[in-house]
Structure 1
């Protein structure tokens, strides 16, 4: 959720810069035009349109973060993915501010499409890559490290119990973390009001539940066999 708020803040900042401070160097296509070509562009309208578009993207990011926090993960994902078609629509809308010759207009359109779509896809791809990675569990003599987007470090002496469960309480909301559909990473609250750290694929049991002196960590993998394998490794490690 913090990542989404940060990106939304960046979009908001850029929107103000373009719309009110005339940061035209950020407008793909326009920033590479010659002086004569720029005379054929309604830059006032283009600034306003670009600024408004970035504000709308920031709003969708915030909506995604808020709905995710309250457990509406499907709506959160839709809000995030809706940005891409909005970007394409903006590209075509922005062409009305360009009064250049048709050939030049097509060039600007391609640059707009390429710049905006690559930017949005880049952000979404980074989130997907981090989220889709299975948690990396490392064990040594004294501690346990669960790597990933939201890593955990636990001393062996602080682990009270490790169990394998087919079901866990319903997940009600997010305290701080990331979720995309059934992929949950970070701190969440359960229906029993308990706050736990999750690194799971929801509805893909079983789940490894690690109870420590300071809280509870729940982990699983896409493949059931992998979860069972790691669980046995953890049980053997705790006994040593």
Structure 2
């Protein structure tokens, strides 16, 4: 459980850092783009979006920790559905042209 708390804390810290609009070097795929391709994207908006996604995953991890403590089976199924929704939402938004200038 201590490991889960540490990972959750890291997700929260990274989520808050990205939500400030900084840290585009932490976004996989974006940091490997050539400089001229990076200029085609709104990196601040992308960072803020990814920060919100990180915070959503941190919330999911907190729910999972609470599931482990209180042994609530139905909440585990709800949490899996939440994770799937977050992933689909993130992929849909990142793959589109939402962050292009």
**TM-score bin (small chain):** 0.7 to 0.9
Report 1 or 2 for greater relative contact order, CA contacts < 8 Å, sequence distance ≥ 6.
2
Match of 1:9 in 2: 9
Match of 2:93 in 1: 93
| Higher helix proportion (structure 1 or 2) | 2
TM-score normalized by structure 2? 0.79
**RMSD (Å) for aligned C-alpha atoms:** 2.1
Distance 2:18 2:66 in 1: 26
Match of 1:37 in 2: 37
For structure 2, which runs of at least 5 residues remain unmatched after alignment? Answer: none
**TM-superposition CA deviations, 1:151-197 (whole Å, max 9, x none):** xxxxxxxxxxxxxxxxxxxxxxxxxxxxxxxxxxxxxxxxxxxxxxx
How many residues get paired?
A: 99
For structure 1, which runs of at least 5 residues remain unmatched after alignment? Answer: 100-240
TM-score normalized by structure 1? 0.37
* 1:54 and 2:54 matched: yes
| Higher strand proportion (structure 1 or 2) | 1
Largest Rg, 1 or 2: 1
**TM-superposition CA deviations, 1:4-58 (whole Å, max 9, x none):** 3222111112112222271111112211111211111011111110000000000
